[in-house]
Copies of this chain bind each other. A is one copy, B any other.
Amino acid sequence: MNPINIIIVDDHLLFSQALNGLVSNFDEFNVLKVLNNGKEVIDYISNNNQQPEIILMDIQMPIVNGIEATNWLKNNAPDIKVLALSMECDEVTILKMLRAGAKGYLLKDIHPNILRHALKEVYSNGFYYTENVTNTLLNSIQNAAPNNVSLKDRELEFLKLTVSERTYKEIAEVMCLSPKTIENYREALFEKLEVKTRIGLVLYAIKEKIVIL
């Protein structure tokens, strides 16, 4: 069976070379190229015939970072699977990378065997996320709201419906309330969440992960 072609992208030469040695030892995989930043990825993919199946992508990199590069790949080479390999384990970075289209997310302190397993999973099943990453994200869903304000069930319902491109009249129908009562919810939330328009409500709902996009 042909080995699966990999490109490694990381601005820390020591690390990327070490990684190169490691992955090259896995006989299912072949390291096609080692690149230093997102810009080089875009250049390589644009100008070479031999395309990788998987790109092992660092996130923090100069010139074009991993998120931007992944976004570019989503639009220009959607078949290439990006496996993020990062030291950040914060929710925002993970979300950005997922939205950019990364099929997997690994932390740099994992065991080589996990890397091998993750590469295989990404290639065959299409995704792989380490437990740390999923736990970070799932826990963040729980720890979202108690920021300072706590919304009641009905307010949450209203908020979700507001995000769904409905008019207040429609929301009133869904919630079995009069449009005028919906007005009360709106005004209460405007004040409570310190926003000026319904756009503000939508932004809040997304930031606090009351809805997930």
A207 at the interface (CB under 8 A from B): yes
Give how many A residues have a beta carbon under 8 Å from the other chain's beta carbons.
Answer: 44
Q: Are A75's CB and B138's CB within 8 A?
A: no
Partner of A71, one of B91, B137, B209: B209
From B96, B138, B140, A209 is in contact (CB under 8 Å) with: B96
A196 interface residue, CB < 8 Å from B?
Answer: yes
Interface string of A138-151 (1 = CB under 8 A from B): 11111011101000
Q: Measured between C-beta atoms, what is the minimum distance from A140 to chain B in Å?
A: 7
Residues in chain B near residue A207, CB distance under 8 A: 99, 213
A207 to chain B, nearest CB (A): 5
A11 to chain B, nearest CB (A): 21
Distance A141 CA – B210 CA, assembled complex (angstroms): 13
